[in-house]
Amino acid sequence: MSDTQTGVTLPVLPLDDDVVLPGMVVPVDISDSEVRSAVDAAQAVEERAEDTPGVRSSSKPRVLIVPRVDGTYAAVGTVATVEQVGRTPDGEPAAVLRGVSRATVGSGTTGPGAALWVHVTVDDTQPPENGYPGRVQELAREYKGLLVTYLQKRNAWQVLDSVQKLDDPGALADSGGYSPFLNRDQKLQLLETFDVAERLTRLIEWTRAYLTELDVTEKINNDVQEGVDKQQREFLLRRQLEAIRSELNELNGKPGSEEDDYRDKVESADLPEHVREAALAEVDKLERAGDSSPESGWIRTWLDTILAMPWQERTVDAYDVTAARGVLDADHAGLEDVKERIVEYLAVRKRREERGLGVVGGRRSGAVLALVGPPGVGKTSLGESVARSMGRSFTRVALGGVRDEAEIRGHRRTYVGAQPGRIVRAIKEAGTMNPVVLLDEVDKVGSDFRGDPTAALLEVLDPAQNHTFRDHYLEVDLDLSDVVFLATANVVESIPDPLLDRMELVSLDGYTEDEKVTIGRDHLLPRQLERSGLEATEAEVTESALRRLATEYTREAGVRNLERSISRVLRKVAAGVALGDTELPVTVDAEALPDYLGRPKHTPESADRTALPGVATGLAVTGTGGDVLFVEASLADGESGASGLTITGQLGEVMQESAQIALSYLRSRGAELELPVADLKDRGIHLHVPAGAVPKDGPSAGITMTTALASLLSGRAARSEVGMTGEVSLTGRVLPVGGVKQKLLAAHRAGISTVLIPARNEPDLDDVPEDVRSQLTVHPVSDVREVLELALEPAEAQVPAVA
């Protein structure tokens, strides 16, 4: 091979949208000033200096075609001759250029005209006299074969003849510039590659990749065409079937076909693809089944249910977090834990939406919250507020007393009267696929021979599974992952552990006195005024009256009885107006409440109950919230022959064991505690917890029983202002218990000022409202000695022991 390079000076013709390789003949639009200047300069030089050496090698003007990328000229261009200058059929000026050889762009220089002139080094490499090496020839044959295959697929037979005549590997490689499947960058790489073998290698790789892609595309097109042909045949056959049925209906006197209506409804409905396929399959069954077949009725009912579901309906979440918090605060006082959790959920959804994260793996971030608390704290009404704050639809599913598993997952369609489960019906009633669904009273779900409904709820409430929830009636996947589930319960222990594990537990432990007054003033009173037919200007219940109602007339964790009391007062006012005994406007203050409701029912009684030794005040949690519990102890006369421990008050096994532990501890440590326990073996002990009609259980009364027994034996009365809770061990340790917040709220309602809690429960004080903590003196204790020292009156003020 002989390599020669020649230095010349040429005008630059820039190209922004294409690359010209040697051997290519291309038309160029010369309406652009830069392109026109280059052509004019080349023609001028040719005319003025035909015999100037180094300027031309032929009788035609020459230019340097240089690709330009983002305003930057390439390092290699193509020396081209101007074959012809004229106008296109549209009248636009144009020139036909023929690429001659590669040239390396050098430094700029001056020249005639407005064109840019540069020094270039022209590559005049000629084919070897003895031919190209065998490797280059092999590459050329391989590329020619690929190119022929491509041209045959395109039916470009004239171009195919021209390619077959190309024997020079270099010219064959440069013919790749005509390939429409090569982009500009690839053509630029060919231009900048001087080695023939390397150019052919790249072309082989690119052409083979394109042919592979072309084969895949053709296969896809063929498959699509086959599908279209099948659909067309099916369409024609169905039209013929419709025509035949129409004729039969006319003969039988029927106006139309119900099956056709269902097919039209399914095809026109906006259904997910998997649901559409299942519905059309059922329509096919309906068309094959006769009117007398019982199956046709089941299919029609199923299709009606499918078509009524809001498969593609979704409400847009209100991502105004501040406004959502305002809605929650306006509807409910307190309940900070729930409000913070909903605000967190909305904030995360908003951030994911802003960053375009969306849905991952088919799952959304639907929340599953369990609101656990005593009755009347607003669990059910909170669901409506949550839905309103999020801008979603709201629906409620009452689960109290549900015992059939099919109520949740639906019945099989083979049963008479089969229908979807309550979850599907709730989605249907809500009208969207992302409502707020309140599962009310989930702790009161029962189980019997028909199954366990709580087991059916496991999939519903599992965020990792409920995006493919399958109802037994529908038998198609239902996406529940964007539904916000709120479950309510009174007692967390009644919820099965696997179900509780799938929910985020939020405790609503009741309201403080100030919160009850706020709720009564802002929510309950306006509602009851409207129900009583009174205006706010006609009847006023003062804040002092509301406070007395909350403390002396009602003693509860929630506000349900408070609302009943307000309603009763307003009814009395309305009745008085109707009878002429009362004139409007009326102001009801604290002193006037006995006239409407009678004497108060709840007054502090700790001082009276603990006046004698042997009585201690404990704190407990019931199904209606926290409550005060009194434990009484007495000694039997030794001469009566009674011995041992007698326990009354409907106590459960755990509570009875706590009494045994308390007595065993005092017997073993009597000398240390200076208690007369030597003669207990001859005298019986009776331990009683009043309110005997109410079942009681749990270990948290352990220190209360110990204190009551110690008070009895020592003759030191328990302090009336002290309430306590905690489990006791045989070694005198005070162990942690649950429900500390509810118990402290109950102590505050009962007028107790000092509370003893286990030391390991001290972190639970963070959940107690600040206004309650500020009014209570809380002593964390870890040993029974500390309890007795704080709970019993001083020894010098003791009352003689009971004999």
What is the per-residue pLDDT across 510-536, written as a single tens digit (0 to 9) for each?
A: 777 778 888 888 888 898 888 888 888
Known active-site residue 162: no
Q: Would the annotation count 376 as a binding residue?
A: yes
Residue 361: per-residue pLDDT? 42
- Exposed, middle or buried by CB within 10 Å (0-12, 13-18, 19+), for 392? buried
- Are 679 and 640 within 8 A, CB to CB? no
- Annotate 423-460 with DSSP letters as a single string: HHHHHHHHTSSS-EEEEETGGG---BTTB-HHHHHHHH
Distance between CA 51 and CA 54 in Å, rounded?
9
Helix (H, G, I), strand (E, B) or coil at 306: helix
Residue 608: per-residue pLDDT? 64
- pLDDT tens digit string along 274-311? 888 888 888 888 877 766 677 777 888 888 888 888 88
Q: Would the annotation count 676 as a binding residue?
A: no
Residues of the chain with pLDDT under 70: 1-6, 49-59, 242, 245-246, 248-260, 290-292, 357-366, 448, 603-610, 623-624, 637-643, 679, 796-803
Cα R_g (the chain), whole angstroms: 46
Q: Would the annotation count 453 as a binding residue?
A: no
Residue 758: per-residue pLDDT? 93
For the domain 321-507, what is the CATH code? 3.40.50.300
> Considering 700, 711, 714, 720, which one is annotated as catalytic?
700
Distance between CA 722 and CA 738 in Å, rounded?
19
The domain locations on the chain are 5-123, 257-308, 321-507, 513-597, 606-797
First to last CA, the chain: 130
Residue 502: per-residue pLDDT? 84
* pTM of the full structure: 0.58
- Are 526 and 539 within 8 A, CB to CB? no
Q: Would the annotation count 379 as a binding residue?
A: yes
CATH level 2 (architecture), domain 606-797: 2-Layer Sandwich (3.30)
Distance between CA 767 and CA 188 in Å, rounded?
71
Residue 760: per-residue pLDDT? 92
Q: Would the annotation count 373 as a binding residue?
A: yes
Distance (Å) of CA 309 to CA 313, 314, 433, 533, 735: 9, 12, 9, 41, 53
Residue 1: per-residue pLDDT? 41
For the domain 513-597, what is the CATH code? 1.10.8.60
Name, in order, each residue with C-beta under 8 angstroms of 71's C-beta and a sequence gap of 6 or more. Answer: none
- Exposed, middle or buried by CB within 10 Å (0-12, 13-18, 19+), for 645? middle
Distance (Å) of CA 668 to CA 333, 494, 714, 782: 50, 37, 15, 18
Distance between CA 648 and CA 632 in Å, rounded?
10
Q: Would the annotation count 310 as a binding residue?
A: no
Known active-site residue 743: yes
* Helices 379-390/336-354 angle, 10° precision: 20
Q: Using the structure block, give the residue that is written with the tokens 């059910």.
A: 380
Residue 798: per-residue pLDDT? 47
Residue 290: per-residue pLDDT? 62
| Topology classification of domain 5-123 | 2.30.130
The structure tokens listed for 41 are 């300069």
Q: Would the annotation count 377 as a binding residue?
A: yes
Residue 646: per-residue pLDDT? 86
In terms of residues, how long is the chain? 803
Residue 802: per-residue pLDDT? 43
- Are 785 and 764 within 8 A, CB to CB? no
Q: Using the structure block, give the residue that is written with the tokens 């001469």.
A: 639
Nearest alpha-carbon partner for 675 in 666, 687, 686? 666
- Are 378 and 511 within 8 A, CB to CB? no
